[in-house]
């Protein structure tokens, strides 16, 4: 299984921002300790056609913030993400506010800990709540997952929105 979509998006976003690339080798800058990266904000508006993620056209809008700390051997990102997920075939919409920490090691391993899914209907009814720990290898294989988390976000999102995963 590949990395769950949020980690993939976070990894892509972090790479674009240049905050997830661990330093190669030791430099004098590290003698002063880790580098604190200022808070960064981001916004994504994604249309995902049926057959790609779910068996319906999916619209995902999310905004968030990232506070990163870069060490010589890893980067630690603290994320707060608010999302709106819509099944475009039915118009059914869920909202989601997540708080999690993503640790990326120099060898590419990802560890996500915190509130991964907190899906609510537009009137506030809690549909899905998943919190815990996910660890992925550099190739995207699941190495560790706490029992309260389904690492297949397609199954979680698509089912919660009234459909099925595309594959």
pLDDT in tens, 107-159: 999 999 999 899 999 999 999 999 999 999 999 999 999 998 988 889 999 99
Using the Cα atoms of residue 95, residue 116, residue 142 and residue 43 in order, give the sign of their dihedral.
positive
Is the pTM higher than 0.85? The answer reads: no
Element (H, E) at 117: strand 110-121
pLDDT of amino acid 30: 52
Mean pLDDT of 38-55: 94
Mean pLDDT, the chain, rounded, equals 84
């Amino acid at each position: 299984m590949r990395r769950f979509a949020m980690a993939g998006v976070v990894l892509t976003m972090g790479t674009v921002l240049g905050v997830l690339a661990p330093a190669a080798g030791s430099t004098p800058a590290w003698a002063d300790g880790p580098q604190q990266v200022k808070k960064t904000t981001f916004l994504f508006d994604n249309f995902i056609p049926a057959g790609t993620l779910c068996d319906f056209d999916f619209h995902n809008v999310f905004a968030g913030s990232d506070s990163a700390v870069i060490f010589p051997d890893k980067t630690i990102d603290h994320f707060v993400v608010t999302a709106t997920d819509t099944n475009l075939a039915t118009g059914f919409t869920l909202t989601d506010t997540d708080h999690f920490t993503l640790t990326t090691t120099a060898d590419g391993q990802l560890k996500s800990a915190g509130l991964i899914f907190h899906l609510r209907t537009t009137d506030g009814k809690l549909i899905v709540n998943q919190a815990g720990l996910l660890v992925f290898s550099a190739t995207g294989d699941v190495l560790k997952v706490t029992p309260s988390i389904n690492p297949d976000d397609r199954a979680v999102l698509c089912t919660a929105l009234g459909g099925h995963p595309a594959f």
